[in-house]
Each structure stands twice: as structure tokens, then as C-alpha cells.
Amino acid sequence: MKVLSLFSGVGGFDMGLENAGMQTVFQCEWDKHANTILNKHWPHLPKWEDVSTLTGKHIVTHAPVIDVVAWGSPCQDLSVAGKRSGLEGERSGLFHEGIRIIKELRKETNGQYPRISIWENVVGALNSNRGADFGIILNEMAEAGAMVIEWAVLDAQYFGVPQRRRRVFVIAIFDPVLAERCPETLLPVAESLPRHLTKSKPKRQSATNTLAKSVGTDGRILGSNIVGPLNTSDAKMISDQYVRENKCVVEPMLIDGTRVDDVRIYEEPVQTLKERMGTGGNNVPMLAFDTQFGSNANVTENIAPTLKSSQAPPSVAYDAQSTMAVRRLTPLECERLMGWPDHHTRYKADGTEQADTHRYKQCGNGVASPVAQWIAKHLLKLEEQK
């Protein structure tokens, strides 16, 4: 299957689909720093910068076959962390440009392409404007010609990476042959919500797997039933090089330093890598572990003192007998948390190294490749049916 990648970032979505056997044939990304990474790893692909000026006619001129449109339009206005302007916001409103391109592709190819759309976004898209925005998203897919639409919330921690990263994926099937082949539930998570537009089927209520966790009480599911949850032992693995270099004994804890006025400690996978990483204000997840280095912070009891950007490397003490060193996750570790190859964001197309600030932001903005790969495998099963 040939893939049109919109809002490509540094290709996290693309890598996942390609790992399953698909092929990226066109990319669109406006950020100049992300484009230097795309040009390094996909040097020969046709590209476009501004999605608002990209047309279906231009795409088919360079890539006449588009089976799949993979896109994650900007989330800032849909996220609970933003101002929640929704689809009327300047950034998240670019969703409409993606829909426009799909409609233009269908017109240029007499309805033959694209055959599938995969849209990814933050879970906040589900309740933006009290759910009205998500209703618009589903209706726009239907008006563009989708015959089957299904969505599910998937969490990267259940797909082989130790990061809690919940994202909603909407699958829209435009090809009537593929639509007829669709099973009752296209994505076999413990529960998902299919919406068949051409035929009426009852929603299957399967037993919730013990590895899956729900969002609220409405049955929406974060995890799949294929991989168990990961914990701090996995975070320990990504720190092995640091351990060897510093000859320290490690029992890591995961710290979310992105919160305002407090530091939250978790015993579960690393918290979601955020788009604002690398922009200052300690917006980078951290690891804490026992060391023999001493401490450069005052000794406190049961609670970590405020982490300051001036500390290099920062460390805190939990009590007078045991010190705790704190360090930021490295860009390499963030790449691994996204399921990307080591140093994927390190080198630009000209061979020079990219600043860590851009690497952090690109990781926080990206798609966890193992999740995209899992989705692609199920879509390819439809193609393989006779």
C-alpha cells in the first residue's frame, strides 16, 4: 500500500507503516527542522511544506497511487493542556485542510484513491467542545466518502515501549471492496467503537482484557490485548549506558517535571512525551535513582524540592541517609520511548547534528511507531483477503 503522509513531523507514523510493509510515497511537513530529518531518511521522496497550499492534483502528479492517507493534524487546540479552541483554532483547524486534500484526491482519481485514512490525535479530541468537534471529524470522514469508520484509543505502553502515550486513531475506509471485508471490529483491542455507515451491525461487547485500562467509565480502551504493560524495569534498561559510565547502582523512579508547582513521581511507564519538550521550563521527563554522588540540594523528608533549570545535573535528597540524583531523559532515550531507531533525529540531511531542543520537541510531537505498525498490519490483512 502506498502512503501519503500529511503533517509528517520526523516520520514516526511513516516508519511504523513501513515496518508493517507499506511504502511512503509523498510527505508534507511545514517545520524546517523536521524537514531536515525527513530529507535525511527519505531523500528522494517528493515533499511539500504548507498543507494549506497542497492540492490533490499536485500529489497525483508525483504519486498517482495513494492507498493510505496517514495524518495527525495539530493537536494544540484539542488538547486539555491548551486553550481548547477546538476545530476553530488556528492549529487544529488544519484538520479541514486534510479533509480537503482527501476530497480532491478522490475527485482527481474518480473515487479510486485514497482507499483508507488513518487520523491520529490526542485523547482530548474526544471531548473537545463537549464532543461536538469529534462528531464533526467523523461526519467529515463520512462526507468525504468513507463507508466504514472506526476509532479506538491506543496507549503506546501496550505496544512495546515504556511510555504512557494515549492517542485516538480514526480509521476510515473509502474502498467498497475493503469495506466489505472489514470484520465487526477492525482493531481488535479489548473494546473499540465501530461505526459502519453502509451496513448495520451490533457493537460487539468483548470481555475487557486484564491488560487493558479504560478511559473514564464509558468503555473506551487505552490498551490492546497483545502486549503486557511495562514498568520501571524497562526504564532501567534505557539507562544502562548512563549506569556503566557513572558506576552507580540504579533503582530508577520516573518523575514528571512538566507539572506546575510540583513534581510527581510514578512507578509506571514514563509519562507522555510532550510537544513542548525542549522549549524551556524543565519540560523534559526525568529519572531519579540512588547514587554515591552526594547532593546539591537541601535535605528534605518525603518530598523532592523544586527542580531548577540552573542545576546541572540536578539532584535531590529524600533523607539524610540516602541521596537521589535526578537527570533529564536524553534525546536518545526519548527516541527509544517512541519506538524509533537510535539517533533518528540526531543528524540532519547535511550530516551536521541537530540541537537537542529540536530533538525533544520532535519526539513529543511524533507518533509512536509500534502503534502505527500494529494498525497497519490489521489493514494489510484486508488487502490480503481474496
The catalytic residue positions are: 75
Handedness of CA 92, 97, 100, 104 (dihedral sign): negative
**Could you tell me if 1 and 379 are in contact, meaning their C-beta atoms sit under 8 angstroms apart?**
yes
CA 117 to chain centre: 16
Contacts for 186 with CB less than 8 Å, ≥ 6 apart: 148, 150, 171, 192, 194, 378, 379
Query: For 33, what's the count of Cα atoms within 13 Å in the CB-facing half-sphere?
Result: 15
- The count of other CB atoms within 10 Å of the CB of residue 36 is 18
Contacts for 12 with CB less than 8 Å, ≥ 6 apart: 338, 339, 340, 366, 367, 368, 369, 372
Residue type, 85: S
Q: 33 burial class (0-12, 13-18, 19+ CB within 10 angstroms)?
A: middle
**Could you tell me if 334 and 273 are in contact, meaning their C-beta atoms sit under 8 angstroms apart?**
yes
Return the C-alpha cell found at 41.
531518511
Output the CA angle 377-35-370, nearest 5 degrees.
Answer: 20
Q: What is the CA radius of gyration of the chain?
A: 22
